[in-house]
Structure 1
Amino acid sequence: MRAAPRLLRLGGRLLEAAITLWLLGTLCFVLLRAAPGGPFDTEKAAPPEVQAVLDAQYRLDQPLLLQYLGWFGDALRGDLGPSFQYPDYTVNQLIANALPVSALNGGLALLLALLFGVGLGAWAALRAGGWTDRALMLLAGLGLAIPKFVVAPLLVLLFAVTLHWLPAGGWGEWDNVVLPVIALALPNIAYCARLTRASLLDTLSADYLRAPRARGLSETRLLFAHALKPALLPVAAWLSPALINVVTGSAVVEQVFGIPGMGRYFVQGALNRDYTLVLGVVLAIGALIVAINVLVDALRGWMDPRLEQG
């Protein structure tokens, strides 16, 4: 009997995910077609016969509704179409090559943000009001205030140009990963540290901790044994917007460091009106965000079973 409500919730989440992706793809399709210009508009116009062949090849000679229905039918079969900008590749091939790159950078950035953010937040909570706490929160505030398009060039200037410790860009070696991951992780480390500190301070002042505190448990042991797991519930809920932050930030970071990831393809596709590439990247990122939201909900349900019952 308990399995039935879980199956219903799972079915509801899958239906919600499908509707979300459909709306996302449809809105992106309409906005791309509404933008001025086209994928083959250049300073030197192509001969009319060449333009006609290109329009027929990419269905641009059809009415807008037929273009949408054709794209939607192909997308349902998993075919995202050919790329306008990279004619030798399909969108599926470009995404298959770019997704592991962006996933590696984003995954490492989130892991770094969680490790340092939770650690620094817990350290600040145990020393609340002291100079260590104030210094860490000041640094966290600076980390939130400085945008990624400023952080990334500063990292290049310091570690690549001045110190010559790391390469300024490129991809293929382990040291190419360091600076992009740091640039993506810094704002998330700052936010995670502030969130962890605030949540731990609330948890450590809860009534249910009076008994173990009266038994003589130190604040450090009290934190790890009783307070840390419930205090991390807000951090688990923050993982979804953190992922969105990493995805949106990757467009800037991958451009700065010349990384062949999803963000760079999205920017290049938008600048060149590559309709199919932009739509494919949007759908891939949307599906990833939906999947992460489902995993985060499951994680929060494990940490607090009352959420599952609700």
Structure 2
Amino acid sequence: MYILKRLFTMLVTLWIIVTLTFIIMHIIPGDPFSNDSKTIPEAVLQNMRARYNLDKPLAVQYVLYLKNLLVLDMGPSIQSKTTDVNMLIARGFPPSALLGIQSIVVAIIAGISLGTLAALHHNRPLDYISMFIAIIGISVPSFILAPLLIKYVAVKWHLLPVASWGTWQHTVLPSLALAVSPLAVIARFMRTSMLEVMHQEYIRTAKAKGLSSWAVVIRHGLRNALIPVLSFIGPLFASVITGTFVVEKIFAIPGIGKYFVDSIFNRDYPVIMGTTIFYSAILVVTLFLIDISYRLVDPRIKLVSKGD
């Protein structure tokens, strides 16, 4: 019952996002052809607007868009005459997803490890060093870190390619640039959570039974400390994937961010709406899966709603 309610909530959330995105895009003055109004005859402009249903009342446009969206048709791109939004997303999302997944995997593994070590060495040098690294990671945004990585790792030391896309080496620097900030946040979350867990009564009981320190940490401490961290990893995953836009631009990666940025400048309504809805769906689905994963991490958690 809980899962069905969450699925319903997820669908309602997506509908609200679609509606708000549609309204925001259409309350902006002008349309995608406003800049061409002085160079293209009015009759041609009217035909172009009619082709994309921009000549119809707003309510009719909304209904038509919803109908197409129900069959996963996000419409044609206004700027790319021979390409629709679905094709642009299919073409650009794999590089963006690869960068996002690589960076979040690095962030999770390194962040959990760093936070755990900091908690186990509380108020000792390793704790201070770990938190100093975390503070630096939080303070330096990816669009600042990316040029620094290019300057030193690629240009000065010649260890990795500067930019572009093709081999796994091209993914290392952008993935690192994206991973540092979430790594730092996860480390701080994990440290706080682990410190709280390690002072619980069941940890003392496990130690009293003669379990080794690492057995206590891995079997009892780490698993319970991960629960609050999981609630953060869900939106973090989506934000990292959507946050690849600037990094993609810096490293000249042909990801979906390129199309999204171009569509904003060109006022390509279908592409803007399509990418926004697509990434919103990723966020909503990720949060749903994270809710379900609580049960896997801790079987004591029951997936029930407030009314059950």
Give the TM-score taking structure 1 as reference length.
Answer: 0.92
Give the distance between the partners of 2:178 and 2:155, measured in 1 at CA: 20
- CA deviations on 1:65-110 (whole Å, 9 max, x unpaired) are 1111111111111111100121111111111112222211111111
Tell me which residue corresponds to 1:33: 26
Letter in 2 for 1:126: L
The equivalent residue for 1:88 is 82
1:67 aligned partner, one-letter code: Q
Compute the displacement of 1:231 (Å). Answer: 0.8
The CA distance in 2 between the partners of 1:261 and 1:13, in whole Å, is: 31
User: C-alpha offsets along residues 107-144 of structure 1, whole Å, 9 cap, x if unaligned?
Assistant: 11111111101111111112111111101101101110
> Residue 260 of structure 1 aligns with which residue?
254
Equivalent residue letter for 1:72: L
Instruction: State yes or no: 1:278 paired with 2:272.
Output: yes
- Is the CA contact (8 Å cut-off) linking 1:59 and 1:67 kept in structure 2? yes
Q: In 1, distance between residues paired with 2:8 and 2:204? A: 45
Q: Is the 8 A contact 1:99 1:261 kept in 2?
A: yes
The match for 2:147 is 153
Deviation, structure 1 residue 216: 4.3
| Residues 117, 190 of structure 1: 8 Å contact kept | yes
Residue 190 of structure 1 corresponds to: 184
Q: Is the Cα contact below 8 Å between 1:126 and 1:219 reproduced in 2?
A: no
In structure 2, the partner of 1:13 is 6
TM-score, structure 2 as length reference: 0.93
Equivalent residue number for residue 4 of structure 1? none
Residues 80 and 91, structure 1, Cα contact 8 Å, conserved in 2: yes
Q: What's the RMSD between the two structures over aligned residues?
A: 1.6
* Partners of 1:296 and 1:276 in 2: CA distance: 30
What is the identity percentage for the equivalent residue pairs of Structure 1 and Structure 2? 38
User: What SS does structure 2 have at the residue aligned with 1:305?
Assistant: coil
Matches within 5 A, 1:1-310: 8-42=1-35, 45-310=39-304
Provide the rounded CA distance (Å) in 2 between the counterparts of 1:271 and 1:165.
Answer: 35
Maintained 8 Å contact 2:235/2:286: no
Find the residue that maps to 2:302 and give its secondary structure: helix
Off by >4 Å, runs of 4+ in structure 1: none
> Number of paired residues?
303
Distance 1:198 1:218 in 2: 22
Q: What secondary structure does 2:293 align onto?
A: helix
Is contact 2:96-2:256 (8 Å) kept?
Answer: yes
Q: Which runs of 5+ in 1 are unaligned?
A: 1-7
Query: Per-residue displacement from partner, 1:49-70 (whole Å, max 9, x unpaired)?
Result: 2212211111111111111111
CA contact (8 A) 1:247 1:263 kept: no
Equivalent pair of 1:37/1:273 in contact (CA under 8 Å): no
User: Secondary structure, in 3 states, of the residue corresponding to 2:116?
Assistant: helix
